[in-house]
Structure 1
Amino acid sequence: MITLAWYLLKVIICSGILCGYYYLALRNKIFHRWNRFYLLAAVVLSLIVPVMKINIFQSSNEDKGAVVKMLQTINSSDEIIIEYSRHSGLQLNSESIISALYFLITIAFLSIFFLALYKIYRLKKMYPATKLKGISFISTDAKGTPFSFFNSIFWNNAIDLHSTQGQQIFNHEIAHVKEKHSYDKIFMNIVLIFFWMNPFFWLMRKELSMIHEFIADKEAVEDSDINAFAEMILQTVYPGQQFSITNNFFHSPLKRRLIMFTKNKNPKVSYISRLLVLPLAAIIFFAFTLKVTPLKSADGYSGKTITVVIDAGHGGDDNGAVSASGLKEKDIDLAIAKKIAELNSNDHIKILLSRNGDVSMNVKDRVEFARANHSDLFISVHTNAADKDNTSENGFSVIIDKNNSQKNKLLASAIINELQKIYTTESTISIRTNGVWVLDNNICPAALIECGYITSPADEAFITVNSNQEKIARNILDGIEKYAEQNAGQPTITQVESDSIPTMYYKNKKVTGIEVRPKLNNILVSYNDGTKEIITKEESDKRGFILPPPPPRPGLKTLGTPGAPKQNSLPATTASNKDSSNKPDPIYFVDGKEIPKDKLNTVSPDATKSITVLKGESAVSKYGDKGKNGAIEITLKPKDNSFEKKNDPETNINQNSDTIPNKVFTKVEHEAEFPGGQEAWVKYIVGEVKASIDSFTTKDYGTCVVKFIVNTDGSVTNVEATTMKDTHLAQIAMNAIRTGPKWIPATQNDHTVAAYRLQPVTLTNPEKK
């Protein structure tokens, strides 16, 4: 809508300049055919010049190889990116009202146009037609005649065709037919149907109709006989009706026609007036089409081709934030994203848009799109919003994932450094405490750009201007290039300061688990796209992976054979290591049972089959908030009873039984699923939440994680909220799970088992992301 409004404004300005020149230099001049051509050309130029673009490249003095200035990060407690907005759907605002009004008026003019065509068609059917040298002569008694329409002349029986005046009127209409004036009228009426708000087009149509009459008058009256011309007009009264698409003889003002008939010729003035059109047309053309574009320096990024996904926030039913003027965030996000794709000229950077139009797309689909296209970078484009009464908040900002990884900091820093050149931008990198789904769960370095506050009049005025959107897009592209240059040849591992386990990448895939298998002398690596691979210890060292567990600390009791290799040792339980003493411990599981860390010394390293380390979102998704500091899963060898706490059945792990009816698994090979899969779950829970959307308050916005047990028969029990416990959202989510269909139970070793399930339900704040 914003793009259309700017186009209409440019059309009005362009047509106003051309129409103004006509009134000053060409109106009431005797070169009628030139004026006819000028007015038609002025309309066409006014429509096409605003959409034309000619780039003039100028060299840039900017050093593309400059080192990116790394910026600090700050935490923010705003809500996560929305998946469902209570303001989705039809919203009544100024933009929608204006749009509706435009289409209503356009439909009204279109109806009038077709009604006129129908009336002419009906006249042709009502009265007989006589062919005269390719012209259909139709004699009628209808009001508004005589007039011509394409190759038809509709005559009025009240006028004697064989009289001198009748012959002059007939010649007048013949001139309209020969000059093809009906084409001009059809063209102007079609233009006005869609551009009815442009007053200059109405003036141009009026002047074009007068020029048609001037041309026909000159052809109708021989030897410039002014007396005969006046007698021809005055002996007839005005008709009772007229059609805007026909050439009516008695429609145009008679005074101007008489004056033009007596005009003296002045060739010198005529030529000067016509020649002045050339510089005017050139000025308008270049003013609206020339764009100064910085020339890409030869030393720009030229390394390995990288794929960058540009994600335009919101879309479809999700409008995002809406300004007081009715501007929708989804439209601005898409406009800037398209500019980035359009202006990219680096063959080594491939830009993909997660959405090309106004379509709905949930956050998981956006991340899946990046994964499917093996994205190297992910940049989400949004605009911020403050409270309705707060219009002082303004400026751009960049957000990265809560893990605060080094590559994400590098990407955000590069973008901020570039955006600061064109507009107020926060000099620090933001981190949302609750996280942002498309950032925290992405497969590659990712950043979210808040392109100003849509609630700020100053920011709204800036981001809605087409030229400013191009500046934003260009500087984001420059930031991508700076990042790519700086990142070329960097190692794939990034230490996460806020976690006890490092974040690792390989070929743009995030490592979610490493299982050391000493007996097989290999390592099983799991990635966030669901794939796994087996590698050797040497290959792991080559990739820079950090393997679990750390060396045993003093005080660890070992029950295994003396001299057992260190790499088979279990995680230490004491805190003498100063690098880890200040960090929270992960949770420990032995064969699916959680145990306290002080019980690890009862597990023999020789009895250990494998050790798996989970971190970040993979640990949280499996164990909820308990897994926020990571999880270590220990699998014992079959039929090993070295780990038994005989007096405590809760920690007794039976290695011989394939199925344990009274046991509830926390880790299984295949988790319980909602019938129909994830798509069916989303449809079901959205329906449940939407039914109560009007009853939610601001404290209901966020992610509620519901924990429950899926039994072997698919029924659910022990349903409880682990987050947002006292909210209406938690109640709705728990009720939906309790009263919903039976789940497909989990499986372990090809047997159906009872298992815990953690299910997040997200409700979003339409004012914040």
Structure 2
Amino acid sequence: MADYLFYSVIGLGISIILYRSFLKKEKLFVFNRFFLLSSLCLCLLAPVLQIDYGFNFEPVKKIKVGEIISSEEIVAEDPEKSSVETISAPMVNYRNFINYIYWIVTAVFLVRFAKNILLLLFLIKRERSGRIGKLTTVLLKERGNPYSFFNYLFIHPQDLKEDKYLDLVLIHEKAHSRQLHSADILFLEFLGCFFWYNPFLWLYKKEILENHEYLADEAVIKAGGNREVYASQLVKSGGKVLQPLLSGFSFIQTKNRLNMLHIKRSSRSRIALKAGITLFLFAAVFAVSSFNTIGNPAPFVVVVDAGHGGKDSGNNEVESLEKEINLAVAIKLLALGNEKEVRVILLRERDEFLSLEERVNFVNAQGADMFLSLHCNASGDNQKSGAEVIFSPQSNSASQSAKYSRLLANHLLQTVETAEIKKSNFFVLKNSDIPAVMIEMGFMTNTRDFALLRDNRYHQELAEGIYNGLLSIKNEINE
């Protein structure tokens, strides 16, 4: 997520600089519109594409975690679980807080967007009066600058009586309508609902709207309008049309439009040079933003065991079976995996019984990087709650397993309030040839935990927390 934010913001920032440096002052209005819209879309898409351009880099050599953490020997203990460390979630989960803020602001923008469209449609239905060519007129109560929305012209009745002024308005607004500028505006407003945090998106919107006015002004001149008469009319009309979603006769600063009316078109060679430089540099920005810099490295492979199964139901409490909860979370974890980051192999994909020996043999035959066993907990103390992350001090990969346990516990705190790291010599943990960790996702003997463990949405949250922990493990061992 951080990479996406970085590359999308930087990409848009560089692209807007390129536009303002090479294209904005040139009379390339159609080309500029295409560049602004396409570069906007490509900059927002590039970071998620991760294109392999054919450069094959050697994957970074993995360093065993045991070589970069304390080499202090973990002493084997009694097979009964013993607490190593308890990690509690902070009073404020900043990740969730930021997510809430984002969606609240996004919802406000979406409501605003929908409201503006509905108000516009209501105004069209109520005040529609007639047609002038292909434009349907919508009468305004208060006099101001005319504006358009697709084939609708919003204008005060008094302006319809001023023939000279009306001719200019009609040519201008017909250009907006014919060139579908309202579609651009709707697209920008919709993007703004989701990418409101990106400051360069708002600059893009300003430049695109400004370009719309240049295109409409050019249409007036090409239709035979007198340049000086039109310029004087712009000065008289002045001001801005502030209504969202609309194309206005004087939407942007009059000064910019007057300057553009009187700027001479550059020579073809100069235009070609500027356009070529802009496209070349933008292509470089796009390539960097979308480039998979490490080629196609092998993913971090994890064998996930949904504990119990078949005749072994696990902790069978009230309405739900532990084996079903374990499998539900495992399947959601499988859906989150991918071939570029973390590949998940399920030890069982259905309700079937496997012995402990069969499980260990399957794990050791996969050549995976890690083994993860999912379970639900139980205790005689029904007040006990939270997750437990367990590793075996007697396994051959005890150091790595201990490190992995801490990373997984930290990311589980996105979902659970507490996560204890414990030692235990469970058969599947002790006999795995690779780092092995067991997660007890909650206590079925605790009323609150049990209610959550039966909730499908909570299964997704658990899977996401575990998956983020696996990503953290992958990133750390490849540093």
Query: Under a length normalisation based on structure 1, what TM-score does the superposition of the two structures give?
Result: 0.41
Shift of 1:117: 0.8
Shift of 1:371: 4.6
Paired residues of 2:391 and 2:398 also in contact (CA < 8 A): no
Higher-Rg member (1/2): 1
| Equivalent residue, structure 1, for 2:455 | none
Shift of 1:149: 0.6
> Cα–Cα, structure 1 residues 122 and 690, in superposed 2: closer, same or farther, change >3 Å?
closer
Q: Equivalent of 1:28, from 22, 25, 30?
A: 25
| Equivalent residue, structure 1, for 2:119 | 119
What is the CA RMSD across the aligned residues, in angstroms? 4.8
Shift of 1:150: 1.3
> Cα–Cα, structure 1 residues 192 and 144, in superposed 2: closer, same or farther, change >3 Å?
farther
1:476-511 deviations in whole A, cap 9, x for unaligned?
xxxxxxxxxxxxxxxxxxxxxxxxxxxxxxxxxxxx
1:6-56 deviations in whole A, cap 9, x for unaligned?
312211011011111111111222111111111101111111111112233
Q: Equivalent of 2:436, from 448, 472, 490?
A: 448
Q: Equivalent of 1:50, from 47, 51, 54?
A: 47
Q: Structure 1: where are the runs of 5+ without partners?
A: 298-306, 313-333, 357-364, 383-398, 420-431, 451-680, 692-769
Shift of 1:142: 4.3
Query: In the alignment, residue 147 of structure 1 is paired with which amino acid?
Result: Y
Paired residues of 2:210 and 2:252 also in contact (CA < 8 A): yes
Equivalent positions of 1:559-598 (< 5 A) are none
| Equivalent residue, structure 2, for 1:269 | 270
Q: Equivalent of 1:435, from 415, 424, 430?
A: 424
Shift of 1:294: 6.5
Shift of 1:309: 0.9
1:286 aligns with 2:284: no
Equivalent positions of 1:89-238 (< 5 A) are 92-142=92-142, 145-221=145-221, 222-223=223-224, 225-236=226-237, 238=239
| Equivalent residue, structure 2, for 1:719 | none
> Cα–Cα, structure 1 residues 448 and 153, in superposed 2: closer, same or farther, change >3 Å?
same
Distance 1:415 1:57 in 2: 32
Q: Equivalent of 1:352, from 345, 351, 360?
A: 345
Query: In the alignment, residue 345 of structure 2 is paired with which amino acid?
Result: L
Secondary structure of the corresponding residue to residue 74 of structure 1 = coil
| Equivalent residue, structure 2, for 1:75 | 75
Percent sequence identity is 23
Shift of 1:433: 8.2
Count residues with an aligned counterpart.
370
> Cα–Cα, structure 1 residues 37 and 447, in superposed 2: closer, same or farther, change >3 Å?
same
> Cα–Cα, structure 1 residues 414 and 20, in superposed 2: closer, same or farther, change >3 Å?
same
Shift of 1:259: 0.6
> Cα–Cα, structure 1 residues 189 and 295, in superposed 2: closer, same or farther, change >3 Å?
closer
Shift of 1:63: 12
| Equivalent residue, structure 2, for 1:493 | none
Q: Whose relative contact order is higher, 1 or 2, with alpha carbons under 8 Å and at least 6 apart?
A: 2
Query: In the alignment, residue 58 of structure 1 is paired with which amino acid?
Result: N
| Equivalent residue, structure 2, for 1:248 | 248
Secondary structure of the corresponding residue to residue 139 of structure 2 = strand
Equivalent positions of 1:404-553 (< 5 A) are 404=395, 409=396, 412=397, 434-435=423-424, 439-440=428-429, 445-448=433-436
Distance 2:348 2:146 in 1: 57
Shift of 1:233: 2.4
Structure with greater strand percent: 1
Query: Under a length normalisation based on structure 2, what TM-score does the superposition of the two structures give?
Result: 0.64
Distance 2:82 2:372 in 1: 12
> Cα–Cα, structure 1 residues 8 and 142, in superposed 2: closer, same or farther, change >3 Å?
farther
Distance 2:284 2:427 in 1: 47
Query: In the alignment, residue 24 of structure 1 is paired with which amino acid?
Result: S
Structure with greater helix percent: 2
Shift of 1:218: 1.4
1:347-379 deviations in whole A, cap 9, x for unaligned?
xxx8415899xxxxxxxx9999x9599544572
Distance 1:689 1:39 in 2: 51
Q: Structure 2: where are the runs of 5+ without partners?
A: 307-330, 374-389, 405-420, 452-479
| Equivalent residue, structure 1, for 2:35 | 38
Shift of 1:58: 3.1
Secondary structure of the corresponding residue to residue 74 of structure 2 = strand
Distance 1:340 1:111 in 2: 34
Equivalent positions of 1:306-317 (< 5 A) are 309-310=303-304
Paired residues of 1:144 and 1:248 also in contact (CA < 8 A): no
Shift of 1:162: 4.9
> Cα–Cα, structure 1 residues 114 and 153, in superposed 2: closer, same or farther, change >3 Å?
same
